[in-house]
Amino acid sequence: MKRLYVVLGTMLISLSSILIYAHDYRPLLVQVTEEPDGRYVLRWQPSPVLRASDQPVVKLVGAGCKREADSLLVDDARRNSYRCGDSPTPLRVELTYPNDNPSLPTLVNMTRADGTVVQITGSPGGQSIILSRPQTQSLRAQAYALIGFDHILRGYDHLIFLSFLWLIIGTGWTLIRALTGFTLGHSVTLAVASAGMTKLSAPFVESMIALSIVLLASEFLKKDRTTLTHRYPAMVSALFGLLHGFGFAGYLSEVGLPKNDALTALLMFNVGVEAGQIVFVLFVIAIGVTLKKFGAALLSGKQSLVNEALEHKFRMSVAYAGGITAAYWLIERTWGGLHL
């Protein structure tokens, strides 16, 4: 039994250390500018989630394209220039990662010689993005859905919040109603903020998201069944969802929305977020059921009280790990916001 506690404790400590030092997840931003004389200027912003040794090499590839100069660092962005002749071969942006591909989404903004701007979104893991061919609506919608799905599964603060909802509410229809409330809440503010109707500062939003996790952790640890979360889970999760929606909107502003199809892209991003949320909640429930059965099998089903105590200790360990992580985030983000 003590060995099991040691294993669980080690897992939780390791997970907490990963979450505490996690960075924001943002796409790789690439800008291609076509000059009237046939020259192309390629600029890309290094991803903040990758170390310098893991940053990709970005190239403009096409028949007749020759790089004019080596990569330059201008305003924290890499810059290359190319001379490309007329050719039926479509131009494309190619990414080459020195190590494993981290499956980052890529956002390409291309400014043509006539001043028109084309935005092309590469799906996570994509390493070749064609520029000369218009991106179909279905491919763009799929890309935004994948970006939303990938973002929620890397948004550790949102995932911890969902875990606490499960810890407090349990499974069943009550959890479904709470998740529905959370979905409705963040969908509203995601749409409103993305439309530019209102905006909150990123440090404030990130600090408040951390605070929402701390509040849920304290409610769970107090075991008070008369709190608002226990009595009105859908309402509370919807209110917190309004806050988390601003966090999603802040990320989406980094990705950008296509001007000619912003509504569809926004909708598909939200669909991706919801799909990732459902997958994560089902995974957490499966882990909980598996551990419960494992405990029963370990105890040969004869010591139900001991089994319940084991489950309780595990749930409390998860709560403390999540609460401490969120408290660290709250202090770090508040302090960082004050010194911007």
> Exposed, middle or buried: residue 246 (CB in 10 Å: 0-12, 13-18, 19+)?
buried
Q: Quick one: average pLDDT of 295-321?
A: 67
pTM, two decimal places: 0.68
Q: What is the pLDDT of residue 21?
A: 40
3-state secondary structure string across 82-120: EECCCCCCCCEEEEECCCCCCCCCEEEEEECCCCCEEEE
pLDDT score for 88: 55
Most confident of the ranges 49-63, 96-110, 148-162, 250-264: 148-162
Amino acid type, 248: F
Domain chopping of the chain, boundaries: 2-23+155-338, 28-135
The yes-or-no verdict on residue 75 having pLDDT over 70 is no
Rama region for 76: left / alpha / beta (φ>0; ψ in -120 to 50; rest)? left
Quick one: average pLDDT of 181-199?
85
Q: Residue 300's pLDDT is what?
A: 58
Q: What is the mean pLDDT of the chain?
A: 76
Question: How many whole angstroms separate alpha carbon 152 and alpha carbon 139?
Answer: 20
| Distance (Å, whole) CA 166 – CA 154 | 19
Query: Which single residue is written with the structure tokens 């749409």?
Result: 191
Q: Could you tell me the CA-to-CA distances from 37 to 31, 41, 86 in Å, in that order?
A: 18, 12, 11
Tokens of 326: 């969120």
HEC string of 276-303 equals HHHHHHHHHHHHHHHHHHHHHHHCCCCC
**pLDDT (mean) for 125-154:** 75
What pLDDT is recorded for position 23? Answer: 40
Cα–Cα distance between 156 and 246 in angstroms, integer? 16
Higher pLDDT, 189 or 140: 189
For residue 296, is pLDDT > 70?
Answer: no
Hey, what CATH topology would domain 28-135 get?
Answer: Immunoglobulin-like (2.60.40)
pLDDT at 265 over 70: yes
| Band of pLDDT at residue 11, cut at 50, 70 and 90 | very low
Report pLDDT digits (tens) over 222-252.
777 777 788 888 898 899 988 888 888 887 7
308 pLDDT tier (thresholds 50, 70, 90): low
Q: How confident is the model at residue 304 (pLDDT cuts 50, 70, 90)?
A: low
In the structure, what pLDDT confidence band is assigned to residue 31 with cuts at 50, 70 and 90? Answer: confident
13, pLDDT greater than 60: no
| Rg, the chain, Cα only | 23
More confident residue, 22 or 206: 206
Whether residue 69 has pLDDT greater than 70: no
Residue 132 pLDDT grade (very low, low, confident, very high; cuts 50, 70, 90) = low
Report the alpha-carbon distance of residue 168 to residue 161 in Å, rounded: 11
Determine contact, residues 254/26, Cβ cutoff 8 Å. Answer: yes
Given a cut of 60, whether residue 10 has pLDDT beyond it is no
Digit-coded pLDDT (tens) for 146-181: 888 888 887 888 888 888 888 888 778 888 888 888
> Is residue 118 pLDDT above 60, yes or no?
yes
* pLDDT at residue 2 in the model: 44
SS (H, E, C) 299-328: CCCCCHHHHHHHHHHHHHHHHHHHHHHHHH
Percent of the chain's residues with pLDDT above 90: 0
CA distance 240 to 35: 47
